Amino acid sequence: MNIAFATFPFLSTILLACAVGLLLILFIPEDRKGLIKWISLATSGLTLLVALYLFLAYDRVQGGLQFVEKATWVKSLGISYFNGVDGFNLPLLLLTGIIFFTGVLTMWEMEERVKEFFAFFILLVTGVYGFFMSMDLFFLFVWYDVSLFPMYPLIAVWGSTRREYGAMKLFLYLLAGSALILPAIIYLAVHSGANTFNLILLMRPGTFTPFQQEFAFLLLYLGFGILAGVWPFHSWSPEGHGAAPTSVSMIHAGVLMKLGAFGILRVAISLCPEGWQFWSQPMAILATIGIIYGVLVGLRQTDLKYVVAYSSVSHMGIVGLGLSTLTVEGLNGAVFQMFAHGIMTALLFSSLGYLYDRTHTRMIPELGGISRQAPILSTFFVVGSLAGMGVPGFANFWAEIMVFISTLKVYPVLGVLAVSALVLGALFFLRVIQKTFYGPENEKFASLSDLSLGLGLPRLILAVTMLLFGLFPGLMLDVIQTASIPLIGRLH
Amino acid sequence: MNWEACTPELFFLLAAALLFLAAMLKGPRPRRLHRFVLLIAALGVLVTVAAVRREGLLFAGVYRVDLFSQVFKALFACGFFLTVCACSDLNTIRETRHAEFYFLLVTSTLGMMILVSSVHLLVLYLALELTSYPLYVLVPLRKGEGVHVEAGIKYFLVGISCSALMLFGLALLFGAVGTTSLLEMGRLGPLLIATPIGFIGLMFTLSGFFFKLALFPFHVWAPGVYQGAANQVTTYIATTTKVAAIAILVRMVALIGGPDIHLGLVLQGMALASMTLGNLAAIIQKDMKRLLAYSAVAQGGYVLVGILSGNLSGYAGAIFYAAAYLVTSFTCFLVVVKVASDGSNLQIAQLAGLHRRSPLLATALMLGVFSLGGIPPTIGFTGKFFLFTAAMKSGHFFLVLTAMANVAVSLYYYALIVKAAYVLEPDENLPPIFLSVPAKLLTTTLILLILMGGLFPQYLYEAARAAARVLL
């Protein structure tokens, strides 16, 4: 096995930066709100820079696992602290950095219990970073749960409509998912006969029998699928999103749901390729139902956050569909879609959050003609929606087209259904844009002020990122390919 | 005769004698007495830790000092020390009774120390009684309305019933093999439990410890006693006695060479029932101590999952979990003691606004319940992980799956506690909770222990493995 050791532990630096930021915040008095925000911003900025550096410095020709860090943790059980970067997690680390940074910026105006909010927020992001970079099953699970439980206080304390219900529902759904994941992980580690939780070692072909792979894959798919919003386990997501405060919605739809999809890819698919093949058709069917269902239900919603939340269900269905095709293009598309959807949905939620903060309503019928008072805000929302519709020029276009092409090859019927749902999806976004941002003006919001420069910045970063990868998709695909080609190669 | 091997026991015997004297005399002022006992308890921790490496078979082979027993003695001393730490405002016990209160605590701790070293049927029984009788007195010692008397009677009656069962079991075991030495019995191990008399004898014998761990169907006393006893007494019952029960269960099951198929089935059934019943019943509780009692029933089930796997990792996991449970459970009870500073029972609704009244206690409570619920990176998660990995190694897949489903259920009521502390606001504006500097230090240390045990379990786990290896 060829492992390159990094000269400098960049990945641990990310975690350390978060930990230091968290500790600093814990020891600052509650009333120094400005200082707390600046520390959070510095933490997020630092991690974003490191993630960006990793993205640029990753050797695309060599591929494989790079920037590896390894230390024995619990020797007798074969647990090690093992981090690395490959084509799958690199886009997601970058995504986390971007959303973390912009998320802190969007919450710049918050005043209520600032210290606790940012402490929980940073804790959550630490878990997300750790999950994406970890190559050890034990740590993978630890980070997974670390990223989930802060969601509960974040939504229940700082959320809006039906926040306690939404928070509890989300918390229980996601932890029920982890109740399936942990037995599966232990099952795989114990039955490998190698006494290790090291993913690379467990990935060796012939480690597990076909039955073990099919069995474990099912558990892992269901467990992670809950977080990925796979239909019919998605119902926590609209409630949770609806109740969550803006930056939490952003991180949640933008990054956290990817944790589920990435878990399927990293653990279920990588360790149980035969289980993947065995279950690929049901996966494709569930994903297609999710795409169609998300669009249809979203069409009937009047609460803007629910609209975006259901569009997330639909878009995460595209990720699931890509994963189920067993092709390189499908995988590329799925991972690209995780990134693109993360950015897009963060942009939508952040624009909505601003609208809600100023108007105190998210109901489509109550709004209208917002574009006249707040043209910049409207532009950002429209840009996000266009990306969501899959208009060429945005990153989402490439991701979706790759998934659909590979689906049409592998599952023609499902492909046709999914593509037609996408056409409806365009209607879905157009309806919202038309009713909320155009159309007759509502007198109530005549004094609505537009985005200030500071609050416009995070939205701008998100929009530019989407355009950048829309115009130069190769930047991202080069990276993803280094991981997807070997993975598909293992199937044959 | 190697007396050095039992310095911990001698130390606690001396401490008990001193406190007995103090109780006979007029008794010093409560504050001075508390400091004195705190000093004794701290010294006790040092003495037991210093004696961890001692070994020997004493008193003609009835008393065994090995790494396993010494590790647990250190845990008991820690449990005693922590409980005494929580006793700074002992206002539900009459002042004149304080010396007796500490005397009984010390005696019970001494009983546990003897218990974990005894490898002889009679010594085992006597040590268990020495552990239990002080508790029978401590439970009804609380001032005030009649709940404590009911709790005391309940604890006493259920306790002596189990003790009678145990005595019967011991008699059966003796009848089956003709020896009172557990070590000799262990040599027969698998052969012994294959016979009906051996099996029934063992089950009855174990029931005394099932009672202490409040496993189904021996759990009925737990909620009433937890609620009825003074907060500090409940703290002791919920932490240290649990550790003792885990110790003996591990010792006994390891002694017979791991559970055979029948014993395995019984233990599995008990584990399943304890987990499920404990968690479901905890959901509807309004009283914090009752909730923790049912949660303890479930926790006992998790430990049993590790013990019944019958391998080194399982025993090591159980030892690790005992330590984890001591820290975690104590943290929760410390919050109860501090929030209900007048010594009354704490309703969950009374936690409202805790994040403002005392951010430190709120953090400790959140980490404590999440550690009980098994959310990483806490020591409770790591402990569960070790237990479940061991059970998986023995092929108990569905047991692990059910245990994890139970964990998911339990998170509901743990989240309700967090919600009360962090989200809900009290009707009237309650003042901040005052914590003295030592109390702050203690709380911070507990928080760090919970996190460090979760993030860096290596040393504690290897120590637990070393202790478990003695048993095989």
Dist. CA B292–CA A465, nearest whole Å:
50
The pLDDT value recorded for residue B24 is 85
Structure confidence at residue B247 as a pLDDT band (50, 70, 90): very high
CB-nearest to B408 from A156, A164, A172 is A172
DSSP-derived letter for residue A437 is I
Domain count, chain B: 1
Structure confidence at residue A332 as a pLDDT band (50, 70, 90): very high
The CA distance from B426 to the nearest CA of chain A, in Å, is 14
Q: Is B17 or B143 the better-scoring residue by pLDDT?
A: B17
The pLDDT value recorded for residue B28 is 67
Interface test with A, best of B389, B413, B452 (most A CBs within 10 A): B389
Would the pLDDT of A1 be above 50? no
The pLDDT value recorded for residue B220 is 87
CA distances from A116 to A100, B356, B398 (A): 16, 11, 39
Residues of chain A contacting residue B413, judged by C-beta atoms under 8 Å apart = none
CB of B443 closer than 8 Å to CB of B435? yes
The CA distance from A459 to the nearest CA of chain B, in Å, is 30
Residues of chain A contacting residue B386, judged by C-beta atoms under 8 Å apart = 77
- Residue length of chain B: 472
Average pLDDT over residues A205-228: 89
Q: Residue B289: which of B222, B342, B239, B338 has the closest Cα?
A: B222
Would the pLDDT of B114 be above 90? yes
Would the pLDDT of B125 be above 50? yes
Cβ <8 Å between A75 and B458 = yes
Q: Residue B154: which of B164, B139, B143, B134 has the closest Cα?
A: B139
Structure confidence at residue B432 as a pLDDT band (50, 70, 90): confident
Dist. CA A53–CA B441, nearest whole Å:
41
Residues of chain B contacting residue A187, judged by C-beta atoms under 8 Å apart = 392, 397, 400
Residue of chain A whose Cα is closest to the Cα of B382: A142
Residues of chain A contacting residue B370, judged by C-beta atoms under 8 Å apart = 149
pLDDT tens string A338-391: 999 999 989 988 888 888 888 777 887 777 777 777 888 888 888 888 888 888
Residue of chain A whose Cα is closest to the Cα of B403: A179
Q: Is B190 or B157 the better-scoring residue by pLDDT?
A: B157
Give the distance from CA A345 to its chain's centroid: 9
Residue of chain B whose Cα is closest to the Cα of A115: B359
Would the pLDDT of B134 be above 90? yes
The pLDDT value recorded for residue A34 is 86
The tokens for A152 are: 């509960």
The tokens for B467 are: 């202790």
The pLDDT value recorded for residue B236 is 94
The pLDDT value recorded for residue B192 is 79
Q: In this complex, is the C-beta atom of A168 within 8 Å of any C-beta atom belonging to chain B?
A: yes
Would the pLDDT of A439 be above 80? no
Interface test with A, best of B422, B444, B456 (most A CBs within 10 A): B422
CB of A305 closer than 8 Å to CB of A351? no
Q: Residue B290: which of B236, B226, B342, B243 has the closest Cα?
A: B226
Residues of chain B contacting residue A138, judged by C-beta atoms under 8 Å apart = 385
CB of B295 closer than 8 Å to CB of B289? no
Residue A363 dihedral angles phi and psi, to the nearest 5°: -80, 125
Q: In this complex, is the C-beta atom of B400 within 8 Å of any C-beta atom belonging to chain A?
A: yes
Residues of chain B contacting residue A143, judged by C-beta atoms under 8 Å apart = 376
Q: Which residue do the tokens 């950095």 mark?
A: A97
Q: What average pLDDT is seen over chain B?
A: 89
Q: A198 by DSSP, 3-state: which?
A: strand
Q: In this complex, is the C-beta atom of A165 within 8 Å of any C-beta atom belonging to chain B?
A: no
Interface test with B, best of A143, A149, A211 (most B CBs within 10 A): A149
ipTM more than 0.90?
A: no
pLDDT tens string B39-52: 999 999 999 998 88
The pLDDT value recorded for residue B135 is 92
Q: Residue B128: which of B225, B41, B218, B210 has the closest Cα?
A: B210
- Contact residues, B window 316-375, toward A, CB-based 8 Å cutoff: 355, 370, 375
The CA distance from A117 to the nearest CA of chain B, in Å, is 11
Which residues are A68's β-sheet partners? A5
The tokens for B263 are: 């014993």
Q: In this complex, is the C-beta atom of B377 within 8 Å of any C-beta atom belonging to chain A?
A: yes
Residues of chain A contacting residue B397, judged by C-beta atoms under 8 Å apart = 183, 187
CA distances from B244 to A452, B72, B238 (A): 63, 8, 11
Dist. CA A386–CA A453, nearest whole Å:
23
Residue of chain A whose Cα is closest to the Cα of B456: A73
CA distances from A333 to A101, A114, A128, A398, A404 (A): 25, 38, 22, 7, 9
Give the distance from CA B125 to its chain's centroid: 18
Would the pLDDT of A46 be above 60? yes
Interface test with B, best of A23, A75, A76 (most B CBs within 10 A): A76
Cβ <8 Å between A183 and B400 = yes
Query: Please, what sign has the CA dihedral across residues A287, A293, A296, A299?
Result: negative
Average pLDDT over residues A435-445: 77
The CA distance from B145 to the nearest CA of chain A, in Å, is 36
**Helix residue spans in A113-162 (DSSP H):** 114-133, 137-148, 151-158
The pLDDT value recorded for residue B27 is 62
The pLDDT value recorded for residue A6 is 54
Q: In this complex, is the C-beta atom of A183 within 8 Å of any C-beta atom belonging to chain B?
A: yes
The CA distance from B401 to the nearest CA of chain A, in Å, is 6
Would the pLDDT of A2 be above 50? no
DSSP A230-278: -TTS-THHHHHHHHS-HHHHHHIIIIIHHHHHHHIIIIIIHH-HHHHHH
Cβ <8 Å between B408 and A175 = yes
pLDDT tens string B307-343: 998 889 999 999 999 999 999 999 999 999 999 888 8
Would the pLDDT of A4 be above 50? no
Burial A401-415 (b: 16+ CB within 10 A, else e): bbbbbbbbebbeebb
CB-nearest to B458 from A74, A138, A146 is A74
Average pLDDT over residues B445-451: 94
Residue of chain A whose Cα is closest to the Cα of B417: A153
Q: What average pLDDT is seen over chain A?
A: 87
Cβ <8 Å between B370 and A179 = no
Q: pTM (2 decimals)? A: 0.91
The pLDDT value recorded for residue A3 is 44
Q: In this complex, is the C-beta atom of B179 within 8 Å of any C-beta atom belonging to chain A?
A: no
Cβ <8 Å between A183 and B397 = yes
Cβ <8 Å between B423 and A164 = yes
Q: In this complex, is the C-beta atom of B452 within 8 Å of any C-beta atom belonging to chain A?
A: no
Dist. CA A268–CA A281, nearest whole Å:
15
Would the pLDDT of A94 be above 80? yes
Cβ neighbors of A325 (< 8 A, separation 6 or more) are A280, A284, A331, A403, A406, A407, A409, A410, A411
The pLDDT value recorded for residue A255 is 87
Residue of chain B whose Cα is closest to the Cα of A143: B376
Interface A-B, measured as beta-carbon pairs within 8 A, has a size of 88
Q: Is B159 or B256 the better-scoring residue by pLDDT?
A: B159
Average pLDDT over residues B179-186: 84
- Contact residues, A window 140-159, toward B, CB-based 8 Å cutoff: 141-143, 145-146, 149, 152-153, 156-157
Domain range for B98: 3-469
CB-nearest to B376 from A146, A157, A180 is A146
- Over chain B, what HEC string results? CCHHHHHHHHHHHHHHHHHHHHHHCCCCCHHHHHHHHHHHHHHHHHHHHHCCCCCEEECCCCEEECHHHHHHHHHHHHHHHHHHHCCCCCCCCCHHHHHHHHHHHHHHHHHHHHHHHECEHHHHHHHHHHHHHHHHHHHHHCCCCCHHHHHHHHHHHHHHHHHHHHHHHHHHHHHHHCCCEHHHHHHHHHHHHHCHHHHHHHHHHHHHHHHHHCCCCCCCHHHHHHHHCCHHHHHHHHHHHHHHHHHHHHHHHHHCCCCCHHHHHHHHHHHHHHHHHHHHHHHCCCEHHHHHHHHHHHHHHHHHHHHCCCCHHHHHHHHHHHHHHHHHHHHHHHHHHHHCCCCCCCEHHHHCCHHHHCHHHHHHHHHHHHHHHCCCCCHHHHHHHHHHHHHHHCCCHHHHHHHHHHHHHHHHHHHHHHHHHHCCCCCCCCCCCCCCHHHHHHHHHHHHHHHHHHHCCHHHHHHHHHHHHCCC
